[in-house]
A and B are shown apart, each in its own frame.
Chain A
Amino acid sequence: MTFISLQFLVFFMVVTLWFFRLKNQKGRIWLLLIASCYFYMSFIPEYILILGGTIIVDYFAGIQIEKSEGSNRKFWLVLSIIANIGTLAVFKYYNFFIDNIHTGFLFFGKPLQLPLLKMALPIGLSFHTFQALSYTIEVYRRKQPAERNFVVYALYVMFYPQLVAGPIERPQNVIPQLKEFRPYNWDNVKEGLARMCWGFFKKVVIADRLAMVVERTFGHTAETSSAALFIGAVFYSFQIYCDFSGYSDIALGAAKVMNIRLMENFKQPYLSGNLSEFWTRWHISLSTWFRDYLYIPLGGNRKGEWRRRMNIMVVFLLSGLWHGANWTFIIWGLLHGLFVLILVWKINSGGSAVRKLLGILFNFIVVTFLWIFFRAENLHAAWVYIKSICSFRGGSNYITLNPVEFIFSILIIFIMLFREKYLPRHTISSNSRFWVYLFSMVIICYFFGVFKENQFIYFQF
């Protein structure tokens, strides 16, 4: 059940209305948990067993960590980490690891055949694994009491708006909200629905339209001209942004309707002046996770310059690996780390507007070129794509859009950037304006949306 399906819209209507009909919090969390199970099972039903297994382990590990002292505390934390990372390793990285062993042995002329796992990756595994880890780590750090109510804990991991693609929440933010009875609030409902509409717009009107160009250029690199390939790369930058931030808008909006506030995941990342700033604005819940649970424990910037550099590289390497079991993601992560270290200039607040603009533009181009590794099927394809752009060669300019739709696409990108920069809020105080906005967005999404069975890009992680 993706957010852009009819099934989700009907499901959301039923769950939300039912939620507000219940007069006690116990009933509400049971409803949300059952709804979240249904939501997750609508992808591949049997994978609920994997998710359920890790939830049970982490629930008991959390209680034991809180009860224990000294090495016992560490034992339960390690157990939780092994259960979560182990699940991730088996389902996400096992085949990648075995493939590389095969390649290695083949290189030395000794072919080897180890068994491969024939299972699809459980949807959103990396997200809920990291969310579960943040719980046990916070309990270990004594910043969060262990949750005794299993239903509340299970809902913390499974809360359907953020279950399959984040934001990767922290227990301190979500668990208290799940336990507190919050009455119906029309202003929150309006804000949540308005935000959901904006998310739908970004996904179906922008991201899925740009996807047609991206699929074409990445699928036909050899015969496509440099200019068209460059357009394809730029469009991919906006596609992935509108796809992922659109998902986050729908998730945050859906939670807001039910009076639950989730953390922001994006802050106009393409307006960043350098890569370090980009990572404070892009997928914030993941970058802060790595900061809090990896970079700082590794020493952060407290142990000298070389250690800081190494820590940054480790964080970006693992961030790349988190996205997928493919060398393209690893190289993408490493290059980001490298460029964060190399491209260190900052745009001073007192700098000229032209200088700021040039910084933003340069940073955007760097990010765009790095996205090519993220999108390409393999490293060779990424390299060919980049080389083909830089060769300024001719070739087919066919990008699937006619001139009208091409101009329309650029126009809606600028509208999106303008709106998020200058009208970032989704609060609409007047009821009549709210209904006009809602109706207009539905009409625009229907008539100008590109509807195909496109999953959100980040679902695969």
Chain B
Amino acid sequence: MIKRFLSCFFIVFGVALLYSSTSRKLMSFFKVAKDNNNWWGEFQLTKGDLLELSHLDFVSKLNTQPQNNLKEFTHSLIRPKYNLYLLGDSYIWGLNKSNFDALTDFHSIDFYGINSFHLDTANKNALIIEISERFIRETMDHNQVIACFYDSLKGKDSENGSNNTRSAPSKDHTILDYFSSITLFNKYINQNLEFNLFTYNFMLPLFETKAAINYYLFGRASGDAIISDDGNFLFLKETAVDYGPKSSFSKITGKEISNIIHHLNAMNNYYKSSGFSKVYLSVIPNPITIMQPEGYNNLIPLIQNDPHLSMSVIDIYSIFKNNQDIYYLPGDTHWNNKGKQLWIDLVNKTLRN
């Protein structure tokens, strides 16, 4: 009787687990429900995203150190020239109007998010498309992601009433797409199952023990992070291996560069025709590109220096490369405030000219 009950229980539990791990809505619900510090809450490490991935927060030298504040502009001597629209990823999170010099207005949009912005055509508008190096190859080779860039203006009317909607690149739908879209075959199912089964505060010691074995015994990080040659930084593994689109070392073909340039130029034309006076591209280098550049595939210079690129460039790569300072956080994929400030200074300088 007990065996029968247990087997029925585990069948129902397993099916429910598999189903819930394929459902975006249920996963969002679980995510919110586990956002607490109870024993069953999701463990939250705030010392760096790579530390979180590798569970190495007990290694103090890899923890995020206190950061200097960013400069703030309260009174500018220059006359405001532009509304600045910043379309980018997590590198620009937390920036606001006061970080920039002499703007009439400021909008920051996460291009993976669902927000879109309202274009104010009464003033001059400048757009900066900021993108991390590790995303650019995938992004520019994927119609759905490229559509996100266009979607930021989709359905929004400008102040003078004209419709700024532009059609994003179309995607042919076939019966095969229907099969591909069944969420039962959610490609994140294993991450979701891990989240549902193991990502709890009370499980953290297990993760940390494994991380400690790997770190102290085998000298490496667990999971998706790797330790830098000097042992003082973590890098995202995908950027350090010599294959895959996120890598700083995997081979790039001329065709791939042409494709990227083609999409960037299309975006430039699209945004300019939508009412922007200036459109800039700014590619933020992977930390490993700057800190362990041996064997670098030169993705950023190949894009930025391509003679066919019509979009203007805000080149932070050359500045990082030519300085010996540290611009990245030790246990995180992002830059520190020194790097961020340097980039803001460069943006200010570009917009002033």
- The residues of A that contact B179 with a CB separation of less than 8 Å are 41, 45-46, 48
The yes or no answer to A395 lying at the interface (CB within 8 A) is no
Contact flag A45-B14 (CB < 8 Å), given A10-B193, A402-B218, A451-B223: no
The yes or no answer to B219 lying at the interface (CB within 8 A) is yes
The yes or no answer to A114 lying at the interface (CB within 8 A) is no
The yes or no answer to A405 lying at the interface (CB within 8 A) is yes
Asked if B218 and A447 sit within 8 Å, CB to CB, the answer is no
- Residue-wise interface mask of A (219-255) relative to B, using a CB-CB cutoff of 8 A (1 in contact, 0 not): 1100000000000000000000000000000000000
Asked if B190 and A17 sit within 8 Å, CB to CB, the answer is no
Asked if B14 and A14 sit within 8 Å, CB to CB, the answer is yes
Asked if B180 and A14 sit within 8 Å, CB to CB, the answer is no
**Cα of A215 to Cα of B247 in the assembled complex, Å:** 15
* Partner of B18 from A11, A18, A48 at Cβ < 8 Å: A11
Asked if A447 and B209 sit within 8 Å, CB to CB, the answer is yes
**Cα of A18 to Cα of B179 in the assembled complex, Å:** 26
**Cα of A357 to Cα of B126 in the assembled complex, Å:** 75
The yes or no answer to B242 lying at the interface (CB within 8 A) is yes
- Residue-wise interface mask of A (129-148) relative to B, using a CB-CB cutoff of 8 A (1 in contact, 0 not): 00000000000000000000
**Cα of A46 to Cα of B242 in the assembled complex, Å:** 31
* Least distance between A112 CB and chain B CB atoms (Å): 19
**Cα of A442 to Cα of B218 in the assembled complex, Å:** 20
Contact flag A404-B217 (CB < 8 Å), given A6-B193, A446-B210, A447-B210: yes
- Residue-wise interface mask of B (155-172) relative to A, using a CB-CB cutoff of 8 A (1 in contact, 0 not): 000000000000000000
**Cα of A78 to Cα of B184 in the assembled complex, Å:** 38
**Cα of A402 to Cα of B220 in the assembled complex, Å:** 9
Closest B-chain residue to A9, C-beta based?
B193
Asked if A21 and B7 sit within 8 Å, CB to CB, the answer is yes
- The residues of A that contact B184 with a CB separation of less than 8 Å are 38
The yes or no answer to B185 lying at the interface (CB within 8 A) is yes
Contact flag A447-B18 (CB < 8 Å), given A7-B193, A17-B11, A405-B219: no
Asked if A45 and B11 sit within 8 Å, CB to CB, the answer is no
Closest B-chain residue to A223, C-beta based?
B295
The yes or no answer to A20 lying at the interface (CB within 8 A) is yes
* Partner of A447 from B11, B213, B242 at Cβ < 8 Å: B213
- The residues of A that contact B8 with a CB separation of less than 8 Å are 21
Contact flag A21-B11 (CB < 8 Å), given A6-B197, A405-B217, A405-B219: yes
Asked if B7 and A6 sit within 8 Å, CB to CB, the answer is no
Interface size class of A (residues with CB under 8 A): 20 to 34
The yes or no answer to B29 lying at the interface (CB within 8 A) is no
Asked if A448 and B7 sit within 8 Å, CB to CB, the answer is no
- Residue-wise interface mask of A (37-71) relative to B, using a CB-CB cutoff of 8 A (1 in contact, 0 not): 01001100110100000000000000000000000
Contact flag A45-B182 (CB < 8 Å), given A7-B190, A10-B18, A13-B14: yes
**Cα of A128 to Cα of B235 in the assembled complex, Å:** 41
User: Which 7 A-B pairs have CB atoms at the shortest separation, nearest pair first?
Assistant: A14-B14, A6-B193, A405-B218, A45-B179, A402-B219, A46-B179, A46-B176
- The residues of B that contact A11 with a CB separation of less than 8 Å are 14, 18
**Cα of A399 to Cα of B82 in the assembled complex, Å:** 53
The yes or no answer to B189 lying at the interface (CB within 8 A) is yes
Contact flag A14-B15 (CB < 8 Å), given A21-B8, A45-B180: yes
* Least distance between A132 CB and chain B CB atoms (Å): 22
**Cα of A402 to Cα of B227 in the assembled complex, Å:** 13
**Cα of A11 to Cα of B189 in the assembled complex, Å:** 12
Closest B-chain residue to A43, C-beta based?
B185
**Cα of A215 to Cα of B218 in the assembled complex, Å:** 18
The yes or no answer to B33 lying at the interface (CB within 8 A) is no
The yes or no answer to B93 lying at the interface (CB within 8 A) is no
- Residue-wise interface mask of A (408-423) relative to B, using a CB-CB cutoff of 8 A (1 in contact, 0 not): 1000000000000000
Which B residues from 2 to 23 make CB contacts under 8 A with A? Answer: 7-8, 10-11, 14-15, 17-18, 21
* Least distance between B175 CB and chain A CB atoms (Å): 8
Asked if B11 and A18 sit within 8 Å, CB to CB, the answer is yes
* Least distance between A402 CB and chain B CB atoms (Å): 4
The yes or no answer to A5 lying at the interface (CB within 8 A) is yes
